Structures are given as C-alpha cells and as structure tokens.
Chain A
Amino acid sequence: MPADLQIDQLNEATPLLQLLHVSISPQKTPTRLLVNNVSFSIDAGKTTCVVGESGSGKSLTALSIMGLLSKQLQLNTGKVLFNDANDGVQDLTMLNEASLQKIRGAKIAMIFQEPMTSLNPVLTVGYQIGESLTTHLGFKGERLKAKIASLLEMVGIPPNRANSYPDELSGGQRQRVMIAMSIACEPRLLIADEPTTALDVTVQAQILKLLDDLKTRMNMGMLFITHDFGVVADIADHVVVMFRGEIVESGTKAQVLGNPQHPYTKALLACVPDAEGKKALKPIDYAWLKQEQVA
C-alpha cells in the first residue's frame, strides 16, 4: 500500500500524530469493517485533510483518535501514536479513560460540524469557553475572565459577548465560539469535522482563514474533515481521500489535486462545480468505479 510507504518516510521526522492500520467495526459484527486499515500522519503546523462522501468513514476515523467512538463500535486493530512534547510518544488506544480525559481538550481538541447543536443553550458562551481552562489549567477569577476575553478577541468576537447565550449569536459567530473553546488550552492538535459545512460561503471563507491563521500562529497540527475539494484546495497541506472505509489515495495537495491517480479521486474532483463554469459537472458513476477497482 503506497500510504504505508509514506508513513515510513515520515517516521524519521516523528509526526505529531500517526494513525497506523486503524480498523473499526460494529461490536456485533467484527468482520464488517467501517474503517479498514487506515494509516496517515499529521505534522505540527500542517493541515491534513481527510476527504470523502458521507459514509466513507472519515468522521469515525476522527472520533477514534480521541477515543470517542460510540459504544456499539470497536477499534479492531491499529495504533494512534500521539507525539507529545512532554510525555513522548503515546499510543492513545492504550490509555484509560482518565488519561484520555486529560488529553481531550487540553492537547487534542475538536470542532464539530453543527455550531447550532454543539453548544449548550443554557450556558453563556464565556462559561463554555472557560470550562476547559478551569478543568485542565486551573484558571479562576479575573485571570479566567481575561483569558476568555482574549480568546474571543482572537476569533473575532467582541469580548463583551462573553455573557451572551448561543441563541443570541449567528451561525458563524457560534462556530467562532466553538473554535475559541477548542483552542483555549492551546492544543497541539485540532480536529475539525466539517466545521464550515453548515455555514454560508462568505462566512465559510472567514472561518477557513481564521483556522489557517491560528494553526500557523500556534504551530498546531490540524486534521480537517470535509467532502468538498474546493475547501481542500484552500486549506490543506496533505490530502487523504477515503472511500467506503479505505484510503484510496494520499499525498501532498499538489499531488492529489494536480495529478490524481485513483479513479475515485478523479470522480470526486469532477463533481465539484467550478466558479468559471467551464467544466461540465460529472456525478460519480459508482458502477463504473467498481469495475475500475477490480481491473
């Protein structure tokens, strides 16, 4: 598998996060693999985009990193190696819940797709941003308040909105709050699961730029999940293409976008509408894909 080859090369540079041969299945039917032998890595200060359609296993892969898989699912095989500056390389799949809890939010943070449903409606956004600061870093009182204000400012929300409730904010602002929450403890790795899918194009552009800036400024690694190659072109360094639970292609952005090898990658690229309107839209022909894969 070419994906493996690449991991070996990257090994020398010890990436921030390495997924090795991760497979996920329902607990009742261990042979039905929802994610099959997935390996890729994320470097500090770089963005790896996982691209695929719904059902391709991209979100499950992300959840498995944090140990957040639903109870009906299990990690069949695989390692998730997290390279932490202090603790050295740890296999996250081997950690117990308490140790994972210390990593979640502090060293690895996640942004979810739906800014409408992932915030608690009865708590102010300031409180929600401060929660992880108190839990992980013991921030309190004035110091906490000042930190919340600076985080809000960082994501482009007036600091006085700390006392607002989520329903008082627009979709884009809520996603900014989610981002402020996730970067509060300055995580080493940020996992963003379709963070802009629910947003308008103009707001999406702002959020993508914000994430890209923060990534550079804080030297975070970012795992960015999307189904839209247009977004990939804007934000990715590395690209991993998933189809039905497997990686069909991976490489740098220039390789995957410029010279796609796998028929599925080509098909997925062909169904993105281009702004010039020159290219005809071509939906994915799955029957043809199947033949192509067998051949």
Chain B
Amino acid sequence: MVEAGASGVSDIILQANGLVKTYTQRSGKFGFGTTLVKALDNVSITLRAGTTLAVVGESGSGKSTLARCLLQLQPLDSGEVIFAGQDLSKLDASALRTVRRNLQMVFQDPFASLNPRMRVGEIVGEGLLIHGLGSTFERQKKVIAMLKRVGLTEADMQKYPHEFSGGQRQRIGIARALVLEPKVVVCDEPVSALDVSIQAQILLLLKALQQEMALSYIFISHDLRVVRHIADDIVVMYQGRVVEQGEVTDIYEQPQHEYTQNLLAAIPGKRMAQASGLA
C-alpha cells in the first residue's frame, strides 16, 4: 500500500485531465428542440497506485459517465486519460484493446451484466480468450483458481448466471474482471444492488484482492457509509463537476462544500450509535 501523502509522480497509475462530455437531450414540444447536458464538466482526477479512489455523488452527477469515459467505453469531447504514459483517448481500437487488459470494470447490476446464455466458465474465461492468453488448459486452470478465490467452486463453471444469487453473481463479475490481472479496476456501484449483509462480504473481498493483486480501484458509489470503509481518496461530484476532493478522513471530518455536507447528513442510521447508547 502507498503511504498517504507520499504522492510522488511515480505513484500515479491513472490520471485524467480536463474531461468534458456533453450529451444532447431532446426537449421542447415533441422533442424537436435539443438542449446540451454537461455530464462531465472539466473533471480531473488522479489515482495513486495500490489505492482506492471513490467517486461519490447522486444520480445524474456524472459519476457513471466518468467511469465509462475513463475506460473509453464512451468517447470524450475533450480531455486526456493517461495510463502507463499513454493518452487513452488518442489510441486506436486495437491499441486500446491491448491496454484494456489492464483496465477492467465491475458493473453495478449483477443481474443485467452477465450474459444469461453463457456458462460462468465462459464468462470468466472470455477475457483470457480475447487477449489470447495461455492454452485452453491454462485458461481453464486460471478460471478455476479465480472462481475459488472469489468464493465459488469449480463446479460453478458449468452453471448459468440465473442459478446464482445477487451476491454470487457479483462475485462472478469480480472474477471476470480480475482474471486478466489488471492494474486498475473501475467498480461502478458494485454493492448498491445487494443486501447489507452481502455488501459487507463483497467489500471485504474487494479489499483483500486489492492487497493480493496490487490493484488500484476507482470506486463509484452514492453511499458514503460504504465509501468510508474502502476508499483512500474521495472525489465528490455534483452536476458534472468535481466540487471537492481529498483524503477520506479530511472529507468526512471537515467537508468544505455544502453538497458534501448534505451527502454526509443523508447517511441513514446516524442515530444508530445513539440508539445503541440508550441501553
């Protein structure tokens, strides 16, 4: 793990500068008019190697757009995303594909993000196949090892996604992302669709894997309780702009921006500690 504060240039694994992304939205009568929506308005972030950068904000704040734009799943209007010395937004499709092995994503909805017609073994192994890594036998060995690491079994390879619970599916999603041994993983609300009890399992799994595989996470979330447990740094987004960023303790203890203060005030169960104190 990188020490907080030791943010020399060499520590930075991913950097985004001045990202702008605009959507056109139909408006007016019968949708004949158009208005421009700035989903990302000059957003810059820095991810330190081996740490977790949380991006928080409410729906519509641009945090998911940021995730997609970082991985070039959506084209940027302007700005640069620097990973391993290259600007990803300038790469062509084949070069991008090579780089993407190191940049993986875990999606929000474990029910929608797995192909229902593929077996789990195929889903997890597909990345290895696409990148031409190893022989069939080696790939299979890797898939099995990865499934076991995320708490599933070898027999699960033959099953289809619908045979699993939400938490198990999210484990499959994590296995799929990590089997390629990426450097950076973008997690887009990986636990918001899960029960609180399952959420804790997945968060601890993500944390353990980060240490083992020296991963750097970009963790998108609207839940500040969750973020507190996993993040090293936080970026707070509001209406497409970064309104505040800093180390996790600073943001929680001394939120500067009014919006951050509102987000913190909205955390459910603030009275939990008090209620516990009653007895």
The answer to whether A and B assemble together is yes
A residues sitting closer than 8 Å to B (CB atoms) are: 53-54, 170-171, 200-205, 208, 227-234, 253-255, 257-259, 267-268, 271-277, 281-284
Taking CB atoms, residues of chain B closer than 8 Å to A233 are 268-272, 275
Q: Please give me the residue from chain A that is nearest to B165 by CB atom.
A: A54
**Which among A203, A229, A259, A281 has the greatest number of chain B C-beta atoms within 10 A?**
A281
B275 lies within 8 A of A257 (CB): yes
Taking CB atoms, residues of chain A closer than 8 Å to B279 are 254-255, 258-259
Q: Interface residues of B toward A: which range?
A: 35 or more
Q: Give chain B's interface secondary structure class.
A: helix
Q: Please give me the residue from chain A that is nearest to B60 by CB atom.
A: A170
A272 lies within 8 A of B225 (CB): yes
Contact A254:B266 (CB < 8 A) given known A200-B59, A275-B224, A275-B252: no
A275 lies within 8 A of B265 (CB): no
From A227, A258, A282, contact of B195 by CB (8 A): A227
Taking CB atoms, residues of chain B closer than 8 Å to A283 are 197, 200-201, 204
From A200, A258, A282, contact of B278 by CB (8 A): A258
Give B224-237 as 1s and 0s: 1 = Cβ < 8 Å from A's Cβ atoms.
11101100000000
Taking CB atoms, residues of chain A closer than 8 Å to B276 are 257-258
A170 lies within 8 A of B59 (CB): yes
B residues sitting closer than 8 Å to A (CB atoms) are: 58-60, 165-166, 195-201, 203-204, 222-226, 228-229, 248, 252, 262-273, 275-279
Report the minimum CB–CB distance from A172 to chain B (whole Å): 9
Taking CB atoms, residues of chain B closer than 8 Å to A205 are 265-266, 268
Report the minimum CB–CB distance from A139 to chain B (whole Å): 31
A201 lies within 8 A of B266 (CB): yes
Q: List 23 A-B contacts (CB under 8 A).
A: A54-B165, A54-B195, A170-B59, A170-B60, A200-B58, A204-B266, A208-B268, A229-B269, A232-B269, A233-B272, A254-B279, A257-B275, A258-B275, A267-B197, A268-B196, A273-B225, A274-B228, A275-B264, A275-B270, A277-B229, A277-B248, A281-B204, A283-B200
Contact A274:B225 (CB < 8 A) given known A170-B59, A205-B265: yes
Q: Please give me the residue from chain A that is nearest to B202 by CB atom.
A: A283
From A170, A200, A204, A268, contact of B197 by CB (8 A): A268
Taking CB atoms, residues of chain B closer than 8 Å to A274 are 225, 228, 269, 272-273
Q: Please give me the residue from chain B that is nearest to A271 by CB atom.
A: B200
A202 lies within 8 A of B262 (CB): yes
With A202-B222, A277-B248, A281-B204 given, name 6 new contacts (CB 8 A). Answer: A170-B60, A257-B272, A275-B267, A281-B229, A284-B200, A284-B201
